């Protein structure tokens, strides 16, 4: 038996002991996780600095705060979430007790990702613990410092058998996926998402896949361009563009393209100075492979700003491309870096057709002073989520489920939706053994055909 198999079996034996079913136990583990974050915040920030060039402010505001808010919500609301939910019955069951009972799924696997290696590993873990599951955690090996840190500190605060951390690369993940789980949540690329889903199918294991895609950003002519471009630049260039819901490209009328470029550049300089490489707030690309891929996407394009990079430090300047051909390589894959192509469209309808001609994205953004434009864009397109007149912020609302559709993923989590995702909602009907007369008509022998009532 492999070490991975032993870890998963130990987690299942711990789950089978029944101790995760008690509300008090779940709350204790959630409180321990909260204490871990509070006490090890500097260590978490240091790991993020080493992996992604984050400073303490961005480490907290881009990752840690979301986990803390998720924990506070779960600790506060869990006594309410676990209660049975009464439902309305039928005329034949009005004397019965009908309700939905939420029960743990069992042993779940959470496969984290490297771009937000703390938040996108720990935040779904909150919901899985709240729902009463054992959780096997697999951090991304690309953000190796965070992976090592989580493997060290999680066992110091949480139940070691119920919440093991397995580190390593593709071989270790492949071995993990051979094991039987009761749910798998994976965050990452569409290609690997298909591998995860194929492996899960062998055990009929349900999956939540948080993938990505090219999230479009439509900028209407009727718009405050200064505010719009400042918000777009913030969302695009945070974490050096390595955000699954970053605006991937801009669609706008050719008559405002130059103004959009000018105001994006102004915002970038406000945020990061004349030389973003010297800014403590500007990130770095995760590894050499991604650096080379991104530099390749810039080649042959019309560069309005940036376009330079330093392979030694994995720095790529904030880059803006204009008059981009929709068939060019930069428009064929999720960019996942600080490169913003601008594609010109001559109407809202053309923008909608452009979006609908491509795979459904994880997020969609629309900037306009006209509510009809916003409603039309929402009503005639499909995406995992939408923010109008800003970017990314819909993820911060815990009552809005976060998830993709089509190629950008399936399933969702955040807030109560995380509890639902990691629970089995069991349909229950409880009937008395008294008064059987009303039900005698269902028993054989049947009566002659009579009028239905």
Q: Which residues are designated catalytic?
A: 210, 244
- Phi, psi angle pair for 365, to nearest 5°: -125, 140
Query: b or e along 298-332 (b: 16 or more beta carbons within 10 Å of the residue's beta carbon)?
Result: beebebbbbbebeeeebbbbbbbbbebebeeebbe
Tell me how far apart the alpha carbons of residues 163 and 175 are, in angstroms, rounded to a whole number.
18
CA neighbours within 13 Å on the CB side: how many for 214?
A: 24
What is the Cα–Cα distance from 151 to 449, expressed in whole angstroms? Answer: 69
Whether the CB-CB separation of 320 and 337 falls below 8 Å is answered with no
Residue 446, Cα to own-chain centre: how many angstroms? 55
Cα separation of 335 and 2, whole Å?
38
Q: Are 75 and 34 in contact (CB under 8 A)?
A: yes
DSSP 303: E
Cα–Cα distance for residue pair 341/326, rounded to 1 Å? 10
Calculate helix-pair angle for 23-39, 41-52, nearest 10 degrees: 60
């Amino acid at each position: 038996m492999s070490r991975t198999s032993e870890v998963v079996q130990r987690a299942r034996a711990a789950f089978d002991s029944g101790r995760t079913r008690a509300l008090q136990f779940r709350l204790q583990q959630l409180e321990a996780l909260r204490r871990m974050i509070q006490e090890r915040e500097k260590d978490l920030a240091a790991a993020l600095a080493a992996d992604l060039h984050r400073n303490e402010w961005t480490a907290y505001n881009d990752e840690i705060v979301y986990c803390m808010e998720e924990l506070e919500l779960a600790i506060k609301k869990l006594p309410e979430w676990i209660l049975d939910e009464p439902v309305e019955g039928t005329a034949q069951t009005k004397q019965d007790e009908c309700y939905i009972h939420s029960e743990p799924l069992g042993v779940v696997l959470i496969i984290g990702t490297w771009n937000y290696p703390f938040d996108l590993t720990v935040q779904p873990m909150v919901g899985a613990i709240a729902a009463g599951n054992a959780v096997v955690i697999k951090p991304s090996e690309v953000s190796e410092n965070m992976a090592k840190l989580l493997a060290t500190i999680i066992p110091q605060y949480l139940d070691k058998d119920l919440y093991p951390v397995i580190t390593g690369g593709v071989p270790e993940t492949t071995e993990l996926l051979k094991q039987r789980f009761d749910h798998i949540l994976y965050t990452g690329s569409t290609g690997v998402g298909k591998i995860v889903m194929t492996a899960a199918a062998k055990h009929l294991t349900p999956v939540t896949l948080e993938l990505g895609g090219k999230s479009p950003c439509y900028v209407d002519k009727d718009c405050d361009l200064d505010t719009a471009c400042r918000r777009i630049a913030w969302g695009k260039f945070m974490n050096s563009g390595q955000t699954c819901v970053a605006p991937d490209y801009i669609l706008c009328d050719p008559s405002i393209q130059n103004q959009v470029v000018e105001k994006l550049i102004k915002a970038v300089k406000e945020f990061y100075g004349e030389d973003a490489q010297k800014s403590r707030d500007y990130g770095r690309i995760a590894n050499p492979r991604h650096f080379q891929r991104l530099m390749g996407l810039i080649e042959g394009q019309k560069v309005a700003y940036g376009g330079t990079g330093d392979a030694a430090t994995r720095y790529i300047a904030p880059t803006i491309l204009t008059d981009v051909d929709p068939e060019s390589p930069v428009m064929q894959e999720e960019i996942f870096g600080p490169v913003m192509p601008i594609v010109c469209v001559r109407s809202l309808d053309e923008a909608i057709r452009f979006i609908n001609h491509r795979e459904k994205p994880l997020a969609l953004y629309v900037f306009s002073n006209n509510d009809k434009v916003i409603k039309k864009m929402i009503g005639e397109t499909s995406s995992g989520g939408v923010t109008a007149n800003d970017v990314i912020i819909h993820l911060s609302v815990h009552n809005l489920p976060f998830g993709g559709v089509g190629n950008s993923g399936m399933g969702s989590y955040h807030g109560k939706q995380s509890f639902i995702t990691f629970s089995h909602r069991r349909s229950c009907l409880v009937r008395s053994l008294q008064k059987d007369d009303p039900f005698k008509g269902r028993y054989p022998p049947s009566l002659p055909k009579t009028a239905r009532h």
